[in-house]
């Protein structure tokens, strides 16, 4: 209103000046209904007084820099309103998780997720691992048609939710357990999601699906799929098995290396971690194997032995290594201690079959009795692996006269590797050597035992006793309850 009055006063003064020049008076102007509206007929003196003495005078800070405050809301990113078609050209898609790429392709084709199907599935399933949406869930050879359908619909629905509620930036960042739980709520499923793989699958970069090619720091996995009709062999024939293998490999390696750093002492120099190990699954090669020179591991015959082969790599075992030492150390570190997760594969229906002699269970009965003596518990699924290994050893050394060799696990090294029977330890086996290593560790410490990794160093110089003396001590310990 103040500035409006100023403009009006100026207008009046100009008009008065013009009219005066033309011989008209100020009263003529004020009384002119055309020039002035009714509410504007105030005296010139009042208006000029208001101009000279305003009630409030505001001085503008012309000598100060203006302060400009930019409000940034991280929940609304730059590309919040991107469409799936636009996302196809986003450079970030190259490094995105596989499920994100699949969702963007489906969305760009105009496909809509079947939310009702997803709600029904996630309300009833007991296994939420599919919601992790690891690349194996999109591999044709590892999933049924229904499983592939659930994975693709989950990917698209989850992507829609993130775009609408978080922004496009969220597609290119790790999606948290909380985000997945909120998505479940958005489709009417009020259950909490927890990543069963503890984030270990987050770092993988996928460059192929058939076979799955997955790469992360320190490892590259080129894994084919196959089926082997034997109950003791765990193949990579489902997405769940593939995911579990990758998780156990990464988690197990970290655990073992940390344990070695804490327990190897000055002999930690025996442990060499390669920059990258390549894991292969060749269907034409039956046995597990590790190649220290090329840093390759073949893992076709059993999912439970991959960490055993990893030990051979980091301890640089070669074909010239003394087998009771190298195999004993590898199985001690993965079968008995510290990371004895292999017990999960020793379910009741498959961990004793190898001991049966064409249906004769006499050795099985001895192992069960001995296990009970050692632990006070019956031998069931998921056993104490140290006690089981000791029970194997007791049974073989005291009851079989070396005849329990029908299965590779119990076959003497001199048969498996064509060693001379005169070589110390050639009469031991995969089943016995970890028990022997565990006993030596109890008596002398693992730091001392790790010197066995140097095959040219004599047993006498390490322990102050001969091999035969140490073996006799071990057998006395095994028979302590006789």
**How many other β-carbons are positioned within 10 Å of the β-carbon of residue 203?**
12
The pLDDT tens digits of the residues spanning 255-278 come to 899 999 999 999 999 999 999 999
Per-residue pLDDT at 358 exceeds 90: no
Q: From 285, 316, 347, give the residue that closes a domain.
A: 316
Which among 88-97, 176-185, 330-339, 418-427 has the top mean pLDDT? 176-185
Q: Do residues 304 and 433 both lie within one domain? A: no
Q: What is the pLDDT of residues 173-195, one digit of tens each?
A: 999 999 999 999 999 999 999 99
| Least-confidence region, from 335-339, 365-369, 452-456 | 335-339
Q: 4 pLDDT exceeds 50?
A: no
Residues 267 and 376 in one domain: no
Q: Is residue 222 part of a domain?
A: yes
Q: What percent of the chain has pLDDT over 90?
A: 43
The CA distance from 9 to 16, in Å, is 10
Same domain, 301 and 283: yes
Same domain? For 325 and 312 the reply is: no
Are 360 and 352 contacting, i.e. CB atoms less than 8 angstroms apart?
no
Cα dihedral 50, 51, 53, 57 sign: positive
**Domain count of the chain?**
4
Is the whole model's pTM more than 0.85, yes or no? no
Whether residue 357 sits in one domain with residue 288: no
Let me know if residue 68 belongs to a domain. Answer: no
How many other C-beta atoms are found inside a 10 Å radius of the C-beta of residue 96?
17
Q: Is residue 58 part of a domain?
A: no
Is 348's pLDDT higher than 60?
no
Q: Which of 324, 173, 337 is nearest to 252 (CA)?
A: 337
Note the pLDDT of residue 245.
84
Residue 482 and residue 369 in one domain: yes
Q: Note the pLDDT tens digit of each residue in 239-252.
A: 988 898 888 888 88
Residues 460 and 430 in one domain: yes
Q: Which pLDDT score, from 0 to 100, does residue 35 have?
A: 42
Give the pLDDT of residue 302: 56
DSSP structure string for 217-279: TTEEEEE-------TT---S-SHHHHHHHHHHHHHHHHHHHHHHHHHSGGGGGG----S-EEE
Give yes or no: residues 189 and 210 share one domain.
no
Identify whether 214 is part of a domain.
yes
Q: Which of 89-93, 189-193, 225-229 has the highest mean pLDDT?
A: 189-193
Query: 357 and 451 in one domain?
Result: yes
Domain's final residue, options 249, 281, 316: 316
Identify whether residues 353 and 446 lie together within a single domain: yes
Of 148-152, 170-174, 290-294, 313-317, which range is least confident?
290-294
| Same domain for 91 and 123 | yes
Q: Residue 243: which domain range? A: 203-316
Q: Which of 432, 430, 467 is nearest to 312 (CA)?
A: 430
Q: How high is the mean pLDDT of the chain?
A: 79
Residue 426 covered by a domain = yes
Do the domain assignments include residue 31? Answer: yes
**Which of 296, 316, 336 corresponds to the end of one domain?**
316
Q: Are residues 482 and 370 in the same domain?
A: yes
* Structural domain includes residue 78: no
- Report d(CA 299, CA 339) in Å as an integer: 18
What confidence score (pLDDT) does residue 137 get? 95
> Do the domain assignments include residue 23?
yes
């Amino acid at each position: 209103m103040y500035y409006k009055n100023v403009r009006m006063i100026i207008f009046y003064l100009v008009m008065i000046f013009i009219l005066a020049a033309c011989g008209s008076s100020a009263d003529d102007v004020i009384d002119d209904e055309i020039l002035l509206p009714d509410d504007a007929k105030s005296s010139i003196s009042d208006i000029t007084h208001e101009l000279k003495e305003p009630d409030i005078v505001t001085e503008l800070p012309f000598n100060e820099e203006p302060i400009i405050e930019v409000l940034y809301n991280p929940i609304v990113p730059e590309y919040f309103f991107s469409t799936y078609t636009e996302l196809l050209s986003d450079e970030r898609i190259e490094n995105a998780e596989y499920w994100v790429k699949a969702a963007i392709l489906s969305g760009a084709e105009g496909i809509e997720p079947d939310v009702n199907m997803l709600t029904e599935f996630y309300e009833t399933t007991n296994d939420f691992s599919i919601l992790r949406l690891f690349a194996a869930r999109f591999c044709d050879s590892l999933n049924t048609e229904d499983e592939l359908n659930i994975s693709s619909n989950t990917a698209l629905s989850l992507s829609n939710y993130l775009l609408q509620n978080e922004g496009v930036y969220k597609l290119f960042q790790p999606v948290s357990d909380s985000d997945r739980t909120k998505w479940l709520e958005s489709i009417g499923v009020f259950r909490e999601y927890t990543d069963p793989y503890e984030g270990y699958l987050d770092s993988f970069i996928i460059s192929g699906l058939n076979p799955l090619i997955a790469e992360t720091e320190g490892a590259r996995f080129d894994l084919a799929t196959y089926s082997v009709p034997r109950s003791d062999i765990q193949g990579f024939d489902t997405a769940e098995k593939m995911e579990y293998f990758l998780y156990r490999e990464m988690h197990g390696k970290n655990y073992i290396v940390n344990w070695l750093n804490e327990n190897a002492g000055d002999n930690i120099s025996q442990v060499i971690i390669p920059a990258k190990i390549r894991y292969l699954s060749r269907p034409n090669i039956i046995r597990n194997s590790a190649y220290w020179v090329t840093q390759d591991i073949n893992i076709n015959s059993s999912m439970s032995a991959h960490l055993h082969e990893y030990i051979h790599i980091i301890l640089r075992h070669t074909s010239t290594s003394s087998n009771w030492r190298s195999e004993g150390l590898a199985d001690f570190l993965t079968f008995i201690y510290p990371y004895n997760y292999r017990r999960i594969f020793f379910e009741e229906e498959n961990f004793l079959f190898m001991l049966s002699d064409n249906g004769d269970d006499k050795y099985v009965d001895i192992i069960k009795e001995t296990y009970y003596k050692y632990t006070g518990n019956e031998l069931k699924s998921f056993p104490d692996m140290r006690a089981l290994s000791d029970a194997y050893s007791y049974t073989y050394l005291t009851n079989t006269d070396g005849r329990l060799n029908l299965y590779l696990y119990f076959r003497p090294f001199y048969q498996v590797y064509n060693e001379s029977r005169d070589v110390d330890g050639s009469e031991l086996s995969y089943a016995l050597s970890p028990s022997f290593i565990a006993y030596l560790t109890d008596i002398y410490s693992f730091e001392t035992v790790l010197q066995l990794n140097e095959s040219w160093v004599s047993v006498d110089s390490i322990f102050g006793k001969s091999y035969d003396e140490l073996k006799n001590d071990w057998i006395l310990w095994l028979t302590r309850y006789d």
